[in-house]
């Protein structure tokens, strides 16, 4: 499916003809390949491996990471508006820090991303910004970069959180899941652990690593592996748990096997759309990754349909705890 922002940009192929473009966090649709097919030189920087992988699979050059490390000469940057304001600011800081002064910038976004309220702050930040086009509930804004000295570290925030008898000290970055706070579902899980979590442990969809941080402080498991596709979250996880193994991944195929525990608060959104696909794949594939007697511990919103697939994949499924919003499942 072609994203509405891509449809808007398709109206401007003539302006883009022959240019060297850098696309920042585009949706994983056919638009970047369409640009390439038109003879436009395209490079992509992405912070989400869920999108970076399918774009790479289309033969596109994709750099994945928390911060653009290898900027080549570009004639225009296309930036997709992120809903979280602080994340949007981080991306602008990154572009201003690593690309030459005066590089043309196009900012595109759907109405629900908050693009319309970006015009004024962008003018203030860069000295100029104007609306170029509006269609399909999307807006395209043009500006030019001004240099600014900035690093990823400027955006790190340090937090202290009390949970289930432990004080966690951790770092967060804009754009990550539950930036700067412990999610209520994750807290509920930590408050209702069914016993010591030890041995070979995988934290699936680890975010900045709060579940793992708790487990390390409480139980010191033999080996902790964190798997996460969001490069900003992974950058935090690496800081929060320097001794653990942190993997950029989108599925269990990226994780080690022979696990004693898989613990997860799995995602149920992909780019603002609700989706249980990742959680269902995790449930289906988990038994093959666990050693005999191994366990999958999940927390999820009560309304999410996980009980039946858990019962299909595992011989025993218990609801360890539930409240009006969340349920903790233990499958073995």
Ligand X SMILES: C[S@@+](CC[C@H](N)C(=O)[O-])C[C@H]1O[C@@H](n2cnc3c(N)ncnc32)[C@H](O)[C@@H]1O
Residues of this chain that bind ligand X (CB under 6 A): 50, 177-178, 183, 186, 204-207, 210-211, 227-230, 233, 250-251, 265, 267, 278
Q: Residue 119 CB, nearest distance to ligand X (Å)?
A: 29
Q: How far apart (Å, rounded) are the C-alpha atoms in residues 147 and 151?
A: 13
- Selection from 254, 262, 293 nearest residue 50 by Cα: 254
CA-to-CA distance for 252 and 227, rounded, in angstroms?
9
Q: How far is the CB of 329 from ligand X (least distance, A)?
A: 15
Distance CA 26, CA 80 (A): 6
Q: Is residue 128 within 8 Å of 142, Cβ to Cβ?
A: no
The nearest distance, CB 10 to ligand X, in angstroms, is 28
For strand 223-228 and strand 317-322, is the pairing parallel, antiparallel, or unpaired? unpaired
Minimum separation from the CB atom of position 34 to ligand X (A): 25
C-beta of 60 vs 206, nearer to ligand X: 206
Of 123 and 159, which has the nearer Cβ to ligand X?
159
Select 21 or 51, whichever has its Cβ closest to ligand X.
51
Angle at the Cα of 212 from the Cα atoms of 210 and 216, rounded to 5 degrees = 120
- Closest CB to ligand X among 61 and 251? 251
Q: How far is the CB of 143 from ligand X (least distance, A)?
A: 29
Q: Output the smallest distance, CB 89 to ligand X, in A.
A: 20
Q: 210-219 vs 231-240: helix axis angle to the nearest 10? A: 20
- Output 47 or 96, the one with its CB closest to ligand X: 47
Least CB distance from residue 282 to ligand X, whole Å?
7
With beta carbons less than 8 A apart as the criterion, state whether 299 and 328 touch. Answer: yes
Please identify, using beta-carbon distances, which residue of 9 and 227 lies nearer to ligand X.
Answer: 227
Quick one: 51 or 141, whose CB is closer to ligand X? 51
Q: Which residues contact 185 (CB under 8 A, 6 or more apart)?
A: 265, 299, 300, 301, 325, 326
Q: Which residues contact 195 (CB under 8 A, 6 or more apart)?
A: none
């Amino acid at each position: 499916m072609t994203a509405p922002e891509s449809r808007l940009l398709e109206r401007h192929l003539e302006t883009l003809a022959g240019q060297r473009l850098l696309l920042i966090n585009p949706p994983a649709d056919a638009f970047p390949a369409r640009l390439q097919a038109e003879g436009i030189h395209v490079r992509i920087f992405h912070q989400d491996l869920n999108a970076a992988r399918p774009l790479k699979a289309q033969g596109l050059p994709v750099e994945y990471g928390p911060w653009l490390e290898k900027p080549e000469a570009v004639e225009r940057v296309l930036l997709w508006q992120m809903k979280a304001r602080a994340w949007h600011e981080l991306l602008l800081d990154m572009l201003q820090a690593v690309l030459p002064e005066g590089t043309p910038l196009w900012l595109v976004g759907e109405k629900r991303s908050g693009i319309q309220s970006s015009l004024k702050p962008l003018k203030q930040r860069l000295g100029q910004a104007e609306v170029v086009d509006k269609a399909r509930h999307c807006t395209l804004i043009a500006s030019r970069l001004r240099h600014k000295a900035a690093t990823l570290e400027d955006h790190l925030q340090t937090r202290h959180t009390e949970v289930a008898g432990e004080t966690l000290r951790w770092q967060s970055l804009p754009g990550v899941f539950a930036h700067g706070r412990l999610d209520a579902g994750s807290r509920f899980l930590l408050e209702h652990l069914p016993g010591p979590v030890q041995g070979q442990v995988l934290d699936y969809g680890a975010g900045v690593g709060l579940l793992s941080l708790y487990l390390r402080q409480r139980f010191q498991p033999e080996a902790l592996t964190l798997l996460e596709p969001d490069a900003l979250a992974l950058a935090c996880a690496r800081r929060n748990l320097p001794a653990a193994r942190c993997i950029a991944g989108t599925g269990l195929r990226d994780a080690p096997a022979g696990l004693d525990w898989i613990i997860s608060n799995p995602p149920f959104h992909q780019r603002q759309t609700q989706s249980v696909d990742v959680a269902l794949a995790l449930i289906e594939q988990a038994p093959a990754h666990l050693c005999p007697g191994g366990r999958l511990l999940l927390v999820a919103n009560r309304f999410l349909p996980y009980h039946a697939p858990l019962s299909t994949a595992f011989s025993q499924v218990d609801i360890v705890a539930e409240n009006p919003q969340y349920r903790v499942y233990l499958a073995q």
